[in-house]
Structure 1
Amino acid sequence: MTAEDLIERSSGRPATLTGWLRGFSDHELIALLRRRPDLALPAPVDLAALASRAGVRSSVSRALDSLDAFTLRTLEVVVCLGAGASVDTTASWFSLDHADAVAAALTRLRDWLLIWGGDEQLRPVGAVREVLGSYPAGLGRSIFDLFSAVNDIALAPLLRRLGLPPATQPRSGNAAATAILERLDTLLAECGDGERAILDRLAAGPPIGALRNAFAPSLSDANGPARSLVERGLLAPIDTTTVELPREVALALREHPAGPVRPTPPEIAVAERGAPVIDGGGATQVLETVRLVELLLNELARDAPAQLRAGGLGVRDLRRLSRALQVTEAVTAMLVEITYEAGLLSSSTTVDASYLPTTDFDGWLRQATAQRWVQLAGAWLAMTRLPGLVGARDDRDKTIAALSSDVERHSAPTLRVQLLALLAELPPGLAPRSDAEVLARLAWRAPRRASANRAVAEAMLAEAATLGLTGYGAITGYTRALLHGAETGAARAEANAADTLTAALPEPVQEFLLQPDLTAVVPGPPTAELQGELGLAADLESTGGASVYRIGPGSLRRALDAGRTGSDLQQFFTSHSRTPVPQALQYLINDVATQHGRLRAGAATSYLRCDDEALLDRVLAEPALVPLGLQRIAPTVVLTGSGIAVVLERLRAAGFAPAAESADGAIVNLAADTPRVPGRQHSRISRVRASVLADTQLSEVVARLRASERLAAAVTNSTNRVSQQIPGVTSASILELLRTAVRQERTIAIGYVDDTGTPSQRVLTPISLGGGMVRGHEPSDGRLRSYPLQRITTVSLLADE
């Protein structure tokens, strides 16, 4: 029996965290493991292991991340009070109006096992002090600790000012601290506005400030307010460039010792928008996002950028893609990261790796708009990457590249869900008036995570608006469905979100309006078929509620290159236009179609074939085509060593209209076989969910803990106990005790180490011993078990009940 057990038995109060946990009911233990699932994975051997795990730094840090600002400040006050912490003294640090909120916060801290003990003796667990940092509640160290660390030379001027005789440390430091506290009210009253501003700022926390030559005055700041505060002893120098505000001074300056902290989250001013308007605003961005992703991946297929040696996408390639999409580099980086996370983009496995669309992209194109967007939005929610960091400078002052490891942040999914959850708390139809109020509430709701990530959270709100997750700053109805799946893992979350989005999207149209200026206006989102055909024959000029496409010779040649004929184009425009086809467009189609294909290129490496010898004469005479090394081998045939793609590109740049042909002379579309790389695993929104164990699993863990406690008590009262003297070597005493248990049919408790090295206690009624194994029945369920002797560390012969 340990000393702590004796104290518990004599006083009736638990002296250890393990003893405190013994007082928990099964329901309370299950609730604890549900709040902190990391304590149950893997299952603890006994309550002592559970208590030890609850105080581990990583586990405490995760638990603190779940606390709001008021509960976190209450915990900091308990840490500041130390051994004198009680419910009443903790509440005395806050306003009288906050007494109920303090009691509720202490209850929550006990529920999360961050503090334990009775109302008169509250104690933080394990690494709470370490995780909270050096300045809990924004308070510095005691004035006695600070001045006892200042050297005698630096302390001498202060002693003379206070009228104290010189002495050596620590007597001089303690004397100075005592004198300052006795005159504290007078010293504070003598402070000017500049000095008081510094004190108030440091009293709010953190209590650290910068001051050059803190131990000795310099000519530049000899009469400055910070220097004056050091000379009066209201600030303590802790090194040559840093000063600290003593805790006692800060407490005298604060209205309440705990500082200005509110027990409720700040309100968010809202404006009435209406759910249909919010969903409509988000749906517009959804259509734009899907269009940009398709354009981005097609551009990457046309001109695949190389992967940097260190991984990632080069700055020049990002700028090129941004120009092609006609959006900012920040939006381009976001789309690149999302498509990569969604499995639509990946790098090739060749020596000179490049980024290309995956085979999944083709399947994505065949889906409905709502389903496409849900896949992209789910990837954004789940990805552990922050696109907002692209273009910033890292610790080595190097630019952070898209798709590089420098944008990895494992806290990103949780922060995104928290942000959207805040917006989801607002009633449908109401939109926040500003993002600043949303961020302020986030800072109260998750202060540890939000304090260092305000810029990241602000970028996430902008990304959500760009993607269409929000409309006019409010969460949309279809995003609520998606968020529900991210938080709870609902099986149909993505399908529900797609159904809700489909209802919010305008009906796709299959018609457009041709204008005399050779533009086509699509009055709504086009169908996939219309968008594909019109995208071949015209160039997109503007998007929005209505898209505008411009038809020109280049766009018509692109359609002809894809295998369309002049009559096909005439039929397409006639059948899909609500307005008559302008005569100018008919002439343009006939002219381009007549010129197209007169000059033919094929792979020989490449060749040019043309029945018009004069046209070939013009090609050979063109200066811009000299680098191709064209050689005429017949009146109508020219050969070149360049690839066919290069030949076509150079000829078109020189003003010709060539077409590619197959071996049998048929026109082929070289872009039809666009390059792809194998698909890769992509994120699902279920990744966002925290680890949640089923109640049945938690009940089983608690049952094992209870069994371990009963077993420990039984082992303590056992009639005999032996253990291995040499690890892995079964001693004769263990074998003899096992034989005795078999002969007498006695129940034993064995210490056992499994394959992973995890120790545990097992109860067994042995029936046989041989072959390096002991076999028997477990009294709890009667099942036959076998244990290797080399894994048994202890054997205890339990007393008969």
Structure 2
Amino acid sequence: MAAGSFAEYLAGLDEGALTGLLRARPDVRIEPVPRGFEQLAQRLSAPESLAVALRSVDRDALVVGQAVAALGSPAAVESVARLVEASESAVRVALDELCGRGLAWPEAGTVHLPERLAEHWAAEIGGGRSLAAIARSALLADLRTLAETLDIETAGVRKTELVARLVEVVSDVRAMVDVVRALPAPALDRVDQLRHGYDGYTSFGIAESADRVLAATGLAVRVNNRWEVPREVRVAAWLSQQDLLVTGRPPIAPAAVETRAALVTAQAAVRDLLSGVTALLDEASSNSIAALKKGGVGPRERSRLASRLTLPADLLALGIDLTYAAGLLGRTGTGYAPTEQYERWREEPPAQQWAELATAWFTLEHAPTSREIQGDKELPSASEAGALRRALLRAARDGLSVRAVGAEIDWFFPLHGYESAQLPDKVDAAVREAELLGVVATDVLTDCGEQLVAVLDGGPADAESGDGADGLADRVAGVLVETPCTVILQSDLTAVVSGRPTVAVARLLGAAAVSEARGAAEVWRFSPASVRAAFDAGWTAERLRTELAAVSARPLPQSLEYLIADVARQHGKVRVRGMRSCVVADETMITEILHTRSLAKLSLARVAPTVLSSPYELDDLLARLRAAGLSPVAEDATGTVIVEQRQEHRAAGPRRALARTAPRARLGAAELAKHLLADPEGEDGAPSETFERLAQLGSRLTDAELILLADALDHERDVLITYRNKTGNRTVREIQPNQLYGRWLVSWCHLRGAEREFTVANIESVAPVG
């Protein structure tokens, strides 16, 4: 490890600090985990990882990081404090936030940024040579002219001293900002051109005039018969368009809420949520939820379900997305239906059920009740709503007003990317969803909400350390207790259910009644149609009466007894026999076919002297009869003979899209910290053969990125790559590598839904998908 490097800083952290950093950056714990601190530094400095981490910092930390980049990493803490017009103590608070997330590291009174992060911010600020570098190739006369413009005494001053004075003046960034802001528009535009790397002249006369204005104000130096603007001036120009000030955390008032009232409200919300989710999944068990062609549930289907289940539209939308994210709802051929996990979840206590749904919601990246809209279509993902939700809850801990935090969300989550008109809707959606989950009640985080943030803040939890849904369930078990289920059957043919319905009660009422209302108690109504549906599903009158009596707190009302008896008396008087095809012939032939032993497997049954029914399809029946030596012909529903067409063969269609691989395993933060401290150089384990082959082709990639790519190739796992094609265009692709062919990586590209070849040398970065 190089002295003063990021890796050396990481190696110097104690186990507690290292564990905290790894917990804050969960993506670096995805298998294969980094071996040694050099690879950890590489994973922490990867573009995708840095982008995720930046979305979790507050505005002051962001401002301080940009200030370091503007001054040039490493930058003295004192200089940063002057630039952001704050005390050194305030700057150090922001630096602690950056360092705790692996976005900076301190060294002897200075601050370093990871190289790629410094480059990212420097690209926004603009490059160029510093004045000290320019002065080495400038004539002394031109430097004296510049000094006189800036009111610097030049008489008898040697070049070395003059340059030092000039650098001192232009390094006063705040003073230079005032000079830049006073420039006329053409000169400002010229500085912006240079700052963004455009040094050509669209109009030589205008550019030359602007350069002379810059020179006249001391912002440009003449070098080799042309004007050059120092980097210090470009930084001042960038800063003139920013509000680069450390303001400190906004004051947030505590919520004026009675704790007991919040608890009762939260418990009621959780009961409604679990009841609604159970009803949704029970309904999906009987009739799968219709899916759109490209996946998801459309507004029309959601409206139908909300009406049928008497659920609020926002609770239904939330329930669909959470059950899918929690693995309780999955895609079938025709839509969405409960998975095998649902049966297990259905039997769990309320605390465990809630914990699994709340964990799914906390980590979800979009807002189920406020989806992104493009044109007239919903975009279920590609949203900053998840990061906004987490920032909101994180900032509202310890009894602070959630609404007050929402009003200051620009400070707590500066990189949200929403327009000012759109942002309040996203905050309202986060608060409303939190209320539906019992995470927020009457403008404050409930005990459940506090525990949710405590367990999951910093990224997806470590299951092996008890910090996942199971650990959360243990923490809220005393709050979300089981409520006894009571069923009261009334003479108006309704059933009133209080408490959480058991599996038996839900199955019984779902089969023989229809839900009418949900709330503190559920109301179900029996009708001839609902009871008949139970008989159609195999229930008998005696069994229905017995089970209703078993779950009811009262004897069966006489009206319900009569209803069951009346429906049972009529049920089955008319029968409908199902068939897929029939055989029509004279009576003698029908008798012969019916008694032919080789045709016994056709399950033929005589429904008339000249008609046999069969459960087999028409083509199967024809083939079997012909194999028995008969010569049947096919008819349509009107009795017209069908003329058979010879089947034409076609080539196979394009390869179907590969399913995305399951998420990679994630090592616990504490466990990875122990591994790294035990083997700081990463000497355990030799690189794979695939790694060695890729290393010879992909010189741009770090060892950590090559290990990720080699692992994906060896085990057919998905990775996210940044790729620059032969025309110089950069794209981000999620791929599944399957073969290394020469210098090309043959992979399935999920974006294109087809196989593509990627030149290994043109892959600029690799990140795990998990």
TM-score range, shorter chain: 0.5 to 0.7
Q: Which residue of 1 aligns with 2:210?
A: 173
In structure 2, the partner of 1:696 is 674
Q: Which amino acid aligns with 1:436?
A: R
Q: Which amino acid in structure 2 is aligned with residue 700 of structure 1?
A: A
**Residue matched to 2:264:** 280
| Alignment-derived partner of residue 271 in structure 1 | 256
Structure 2 counterpart of 1:554: 529
**Do 1:287 and 1:525's aligned partners in 2 also have CA atoms closer than 8 Å?**
yes
Cα 1:248–1:555, aligned 2, differ >3 Å: closer, same or farther? same
Aligned pair partner of 2:566 in 581, 591, 594: 591
Asked if 1:510 corresponds to 2:451, the answer is: no
2:318 maps to 334
AA paired with 1:589? I
Partner residue, 2:439: 469
**CA 1:530–1:327: 2 relative to 1, 3 Å:** closer
Q: Structure 1 residues 542 and 318, CA, compared in 2 at 3 Å: closer, same or farther?
A: closer
Q: Give the one of 370, 373, 376 matched to 1:393.
A: 373
When the two structures are superposed, what TM-score results if normalisation uses the length of structure 2? 0.56
Q: CA deviation at 1:543?
A: 1.8
Query: Which residue number corresponds to residue 91 of structure 1?
Result: 81
Alpha-carbon separation, structure 2, partners of 1:506 and 1:277: 19
2:69 to 79, 94, 107: 79
For 1:547, what is the secondary structure of its paired residue? Answer: strand
Question: 1:422/1:248 Cα in 2 relative to 1: closer, same or farther (>3 Å)?
Answer: closer
Q: Residues 26, 437 of structure 1: CA spacing in aligned structure 2 closer, same or farther, 3 A cutoff?
A: same
Deviations 1:332-357 (A, max 9, x none): 33322222222232223x5xx53333
Whole-Å separation in 1 of the counterparts to 2:709 and 2:238: 51
Does the 8 Å contact 2:190/2:207 carry over to 1?
no
Greater relative contact order structure (CA < 8 Å, 6+ sep) = 2
Matched, 1:359 2:340: yes
- How far residue 270 of structure 1 moved from its aligned partner, in angstroms, is 0.4
Contact 2:35 2:676 in 1 (8 A): no
What does residue 116 of structure 2 align with?
127
Deviation at 1:127, TM superposition (A): 3.3
Contact 1:525 1:546 in 2 (8 A): no
The match for 2:301 is 317
Counterpart of 1:346? Answer: 330
Runs of 5+ in structure 2 lacking a partner? 127-172, 192-202, 220-232, 583-605, 618-658, 684-694, 697-702, 711-770
Q: Which residue of 1 aligns with 2:277?
A: 293
Q: Deviations over 1:150-204 (max 9, x none)?
A: 589xxxxxxxxxxxxx99455522444577899xxxxxxxxxxxxxxxxxxxxxx
Paired letter, 1:127: R
Kept in 1, the 8 Å contact 2:365–2:387? The answer is no
Q: Deviations over 1:78-109 (max 9, x none)?
A: 3334599543343234556x442124434665
Residues 491 and 253 of structure 1: CA distance in aligned 2, closer, same or farther (over 3 Å): closer
- Shift of the 689–436 alpha-carbon distance from structure 1 to 2, 3 Å rule, reads farther
1:289 corresponds to which letter in structure 2? L
Question: Alpha carbons of 1:421 and 1:599: their partners in 2 closer, same or farther (altered >3 Å)?
Answer: same
| Deviation, structure 1 residue 263 | 1.6
- Indicate the residue corresponding to 1:438 in structure 2: 405
* Code of the aligned partner of 2:251: P
Structure 2 residue 390 is the aligned partner of structure 1 residue 408? no
- C-alpha distance in structure 2 between counterparts of 1:415 and 1:378, whole Å: 16
2:495 partner SS: strand
1:491 deviation in Å? 1.9
Q: Look up the SS of the partner of 1:465 in the other structure.
A: helix
Which deviates the most, 413-422 or 543-552? 413-422
Determine if the alignment matches structure 1 residue 459 to structure 2 residue 429: yes
Partners of 2:76 and 2:111 within 8 A in 1: yes
CA 1:148 to 1:319, structure 2 compared with 1: closer, same or farther past 3 Å?
A: same
The aligned length equals 538
Q: Secondary structure at the match of 1:271?
A: coil
Residue equivalent to 1:101: 90
SS in 1 for 2:356: helix
Distance 1:42 1:532 in 2: 46
How far is the alpha carbon of 1:266 from its aligned partner?
3.2
Contact 1:147 / 1:176 at 8 angstroms: preserved in 2?
Answer: no
User: Aligned-pair RMSD on alpha carbons?
Assistant: 5.4
State yes or no: 1:35 paired with 2:21: yes
CA contact (8 A) 1:266 1:440 kept: no
Tell me which residue corresponds to 1:64.
Answer: 54
Letter in 2 for 1:548: V
8 A Cα contact 1:482 1:493, kept in partner = no
Q: What is the rounded CA distance, in whole Å, between the counterparts of 1:755 and 1:526 in structure 2?
A: 51
Partner of 1:600: 575
The worse-fitting range, judged by mean Cα deviation, of 551-560 and 78-87 is 78-87
- The reply on whether 1:379 has 2:353 as its aligned counterpart is no
1:576-628 per-position Cα deviation (integer Å, ceiling 9, x unaligned): 55556554444333333322333333434599xxxxxxxxxxxxxxxxxxxxx
**Distance change (3 Å), C-alpha of 1:145 and 1:554:** same
1:73, CA displacement in angstroms? 1.5
Change (3 A) 1:548 1:141: farther
Distance verdict in 2 for CA 1:502–1:287, change over 3 Å: farther
Write out per-residue CA displacement over residues 641-694 of structure 1, whole angstroms, 9 at most, x where no aligned residue.
999xxxxxxxxxxxxxxxxxxxxxxxxxxxxxxxxxxxx99999x989986653
Q: Which amino acid aligns with 2:51?
A: S
CA distance in 1, matches of 2:331, 2:284: 11
Change in CA separation of 1:601 and 1:140 when aligned onto 2, cut-off 3 Å: farther
The residue correspondences of 1:180-219 to structure 2 (distance < 5 A) are none
Shift of 1:70: 1.5
Whether the aligned pair in 2 keeps the contact of 1:510 and 1:527 (CA below 8 Å) is no
User: Quick one: structure 1 residues 632 and 63, their matched pair in 2 at CA, closer, same or farther if it must change by over 3 Å?
Assistant: closer
2:486–2:499 Cα contact (<8 Å) kept: no
Q: Residues of 2 paired with 1:577 and 1:123: CA distance?
A: 70
- The SS at the match of 1:529 is helix
SS at match of 1:504: coil
Q: For residue 345 of structure 2, what is the amino acid of its counterpart?
A: W
User: Partner of 2:352: helix, strand, or coil?
Assistant: helix
Residue identity over aligned pairs, in percent, reads 24
SS of match in other structure, 1:511: strand
Q: Which residue does 2:602 correspond to in 1? A: none
